[in-house]
Structure 1
Amino acid sequence: MQEILKLGTTTWTYVQEPTKETITKLAEEYDFHEVIVDDLLEINAQSKIDSNSKHFFLALTFTKYLESEKRYLLNELDVIIGEHFVVTTIPLESKSFKNLFETMKNEVIEADEAYKTSPYYILYRIIDTFYDKTVKSLAISSKRLLDIQEDMADKKVEKDVVEDLMTENLNKIFIKHNFLSQEDVLLDLISHVNSFHDKQLKVYYNSLKVKLTKIISTINVLSEKNESLMAAYNTFVGIKNNDNVTRLTFVNAIFMPLTLIAGIGGMSERSMITWGPDNWKIAYPMFILLCVLVAYITVLILRKYFIKK
């Protein structure tokens, strides 16, 4: 999908899910350097900036959250800026991007706000939109961790909790890697804008730096919270396993002396217990009564021990 928006003397071309054919046509139309074409065709693992050619190129590694799969995908934003144009490409659909496009299409720009039609102001709005979207995404993630914490507090700990925590942990590692790579790139971008363009844009780009710092800080906090919940879950499972072992030990302790008595009685049935076949009606009830008595005494001793402990 490709859309074009005219803002003053600047043309913004927005391309979603670009194909090799689309990129080739754009390269011919705007005379992109071959290095920029290669960057557009390839997936950049980290954010990068290139202001050495006649066109300014910027690649920022953003993410898109898939609710159905509970994971993030790489949604790289590529931007090429010339004197009177901006070209942006993203591989995955972005409602926020579309909404920004429609918003700017309907905005009324006053005479003293001519800088708002400049390519670098458009770039600011694009990055700002992605950062706002990321903040909302992290708020949803924080809510999920809070729900897991409440379930653990209510002792509703199931197998799914481990899977959810592991998924959240992998998600945080993924988005943290993507946004950490933007720090140096954003500083270079701010330096570039301050050196060559309207000083009014300085305030806008400094606000981006603040937002990025907030995003990275939030990711770190959520990662620490996720690790704490994992540790709490492991502790909970350990306590639960200890309780099960204690119950088994209690039961074994009761049956251990009974097993010993039954073993001795079984090996010496005629000579030691019954004193002959005529006395079994007395011997066996007494043997059973002895087992019950031993079991009762064992239970009393164990209960007293565990209560004291």
Structure 2
Amino acid sequence: MKEFDITRPDKLILTGLKSLVSLPLNLYTEQKSKAKGSGKVSFIGEKKLDEVSVQHYQYNKDELKVNEVEYNLDFVKEENDKLVHWLNIYGLHDVEIIQDIGQKLGMDRITLRHVLDTTLRPKVEEFDKYLFFSIKSILNDEDKSLNVEQLSFILGKNYVVSFQEEHGDHFDHIRNKIEENLGLIRSKRSDFLVCQLLDAVLDNYYETIEWINTEVRELEKQVFADPTQELLIKMERMKQVTQTIKKSLSPFKDSLRLISNRESSFITKEAKKYFLDLMSSCNGAIEEINSTANSLESLTNIYFSSLSQKMNETMKVLTTVSTIFIPMTFIAGIYGMNFEYMPELKYRYGYHIVWGVMGLMFIGMFIYFKRRKWL
């Protein structure tokens, strides 16, 4: 393992930050430049699935149909359709398929670009035929790395279309509620469904924050017990994770506030109370991650204070030892001079006397330093 210069914590921090390969720091600048240059709708991000797949739920209180083979968007034209449709698309890399879906949904070209851009900041936009949501889902993987996924939602009068980068378990409990007819979801409209989907994403944030808090508690124990260079790198990594979550949660909250404070033809007054509750939960998540960030900052300060304290203790011991031996070194230096006429050199017991004096000085100074608690 590479040795770090402990006297330069700024270099150590920089080295640690460069090692955080699991954090989503790639903004795909080159892909964006090519997309702008070509003028075409392009996918911006990392291909995470080999093929695009779909899952189509059609339901009401008494009826349920599930199709995982192909998608049929005829429900967009059926204004009097009594079913709620949830079309979930896995994979965003196939631009032709996404464009075909967008064309049948009547999606604006700007919305298509937003769906295909995985670096997009969370936002909400209302169009004539639909309401568009774009958010980030953040969840820690089994290898303790942070997985950030772009999720987009199209909310219509009787349907919700969700776009995911990859297969995930974000909405498994919602599918179970639909299939088993649990709760209110089968008796509500599409605005309630999208609220449930957003709530599931927010649950992922809480789960990730809880994981971070557990890691911070472990770091706290280690910092007080044995502050090492590896701990500092872990703390800096956790800081990067908290910053990523904060940057995603703030616009998420702004989007929910916008929905709650404006009139929309796609969200009923009855459903607004659920969005208000969701915004309250989002506020709680923001407060929790801010508290976690403050704890990490405090731990970093404690780390450097501990190092400073250790350095002071070491310097105190070295100084005390040096102080004890300086007088003895002085005596030894005097009698080490090569002058011919030094009376003490003729004493028969001079050697033993000098050793006795030095021994008494050592014992006396040792007892004095002990009483002063310098040793």
Structure-1-length-normalised TM-score:
0.84
For each residue in 1:269-301, what CA deviation from the matched residue of structure 2 results, as whole angstroms up to 9, or x when unmatched?
6543774xxx59744444433333332333234
How far off is 1:249 after superposition?
Answer: 0.7
Rounded to whole Å, the distance in 1 between the matches of 2:247 and 2:254 is 13
For each residue in 1:80-113, what CA deviation from the matched residue of structure 2 results, as whole angstroms up to 9, or x when unmatched?
1233332111224431323423432332688xx8
Q: Which amino acid aligns with 1:2?
A: V
How far off is 1:142 after superposition?
Answer: 2.1
Change (3 A) 1:196 1:78: closer
Structure 1: 5+ residue stretches without partners: none
How far off is 1:214 after superposition?
Answer: 0.9
Structure-1 residue corresponding to 2:65: none
- Answer yes or no: is the 8 Å Cα contact 2:155–2:266 preserved in 1: no
Q: Where is the helix percentage greater, Structure 1 or Structure 2?
A: 1
How far off is 1:49 after superposition?
Answer: 1.3
Structure-2 residue corresponding to 1:302: 369
- Answer yes or no: is the 8 Å Cα contact 1:4–1:12 preserved in 2: yes
Structure-2 residue corresponding to 1:147: 218
In the TM superposition, what are the counterparts of 1:149-164 in structure 2 within 5 Å? Answer: 149-152=220-223, 155-164=225-234
Structure 2: 5+ residue stretches without partners: 1-52, 61-82
How far off is 1:12 after superposition?
Answer: 1.3
Q: Which amino acid aligns with 1:291?
A: M
- Answer yes or no: is the 8 Å Cα contact 2:235–2:300 preserved in 1: yes
How far off is 1:228 after superposition?
Answer: 2.3
Whether 1:29 aligns to 2:83 is no
Rounded to whole Å, the distance in 1 between the matches of 2:163 and 2:342 is 94
In the TM superposition, what are the counterparts of 1:59-78 in structure 2 within 5 Å? Answer: 59-68=134-143, 70-78=144-152
Structure-2 residue corresponding to 1:138: 209
Whether 1:244 aligns to 2:314 is yes
Aligned residue pairs, count: 300
Rounded to whole Å, the distance in 2 between the matches of 1:127 and 1:166 is 29
Change (3 A) 1:193 1:42: same
RMSD: 2.9
How far off is 1:6 after superposition?
Answer: 1.3
Structure-2 residue corresponding to 1:5: 57
Structure 2 residue corresponding to 1:83, chosen from 157, 176, 189:
157
Change (3 A) 1:273 1:215: farther
- Answer yes or no: is the 8 Å Cα contact 1:71–1:167 preserved in 2: no
Rounded to whole Å, the distance in 2 between the matches of 1:271 and 1:87 is 105
Rounded to whole Å, the distance in 2 between the matches of 1:45 and 1:226 is 28
How far off is 1:212 after superposition?
Answer: 0.8
Q: Which amino acid aligns with 2:235?
A: L
Whether 1:208 aligns to 2:278 is yes
Structure-2 residue corresponding to 1:106: 180
SS of 1:32 mapped into structure 2: coil
How far off is 1:139 after superposition?
Answer: 2.2
Structure-2 residue corresponding to 1:231: 301
Larger Rg: 1
Rounded to whole Å, the distance in 2 between the matches of 1:237 and 1:67 is 33
In the TM superposition, what are the counterparts of 1:118-137 in structure 2 within 5 Å? Answer: 118-137=189-208
- Answer yes or no: is the 8 Å Cα contact 2:55–2:89 preserved in 1: yes
Q: Which amino acid aligns with 2:249?
A: F
Change (3 A) 1:73 1:269: farther
Change (3 A) 1:31 1:231: same
- Answer yes or no: is the 8 Å Cα contact 1:193–1:201 preserved in 2: no
Change (3 A) 1:82 1:304: closer
SS of 1:15 mapped into structure 2: strand
Identity %: 17
- Answer yes or no: is the 8 Å Cα contact 2:178–2:186 preserved in 1: no
- Answer yes or no: is the 8 Å Cα contact 2:136–2:248 preserved in 1: yes
SS of 2:218 mapped into structure 1: helix
Rounded to whole Å, the distance in 2 between the matches of 1:163 and 1:67 is 20
Structure-2 residue corresponding to 1:290: 357
- Answer yes or no: is the 8 Å Cα contact 1:86–1:119 preserved in 2: yes
Q: Which amino acid aligns with 1:60?
A: I
Q: Which amino acid aligns with 1:146?
A: R
Rounded to whole Å, the distance in 2 between the matches of 1:280 and 1:26 is 109
Structure-2 residue corresponding to 1:165: 235
Structure-2-length-normalised TM-score:
0.70
Q: Which amino acid aligns with 1:89?
A: F
Structure-2 residue corresponding to 1:51: 126
How far off is 1:252 after superposition?
Answer: 0.8
- Answer yes or no: is the 8 Å Cα contact 1:115–1:121 preserved in 2: no
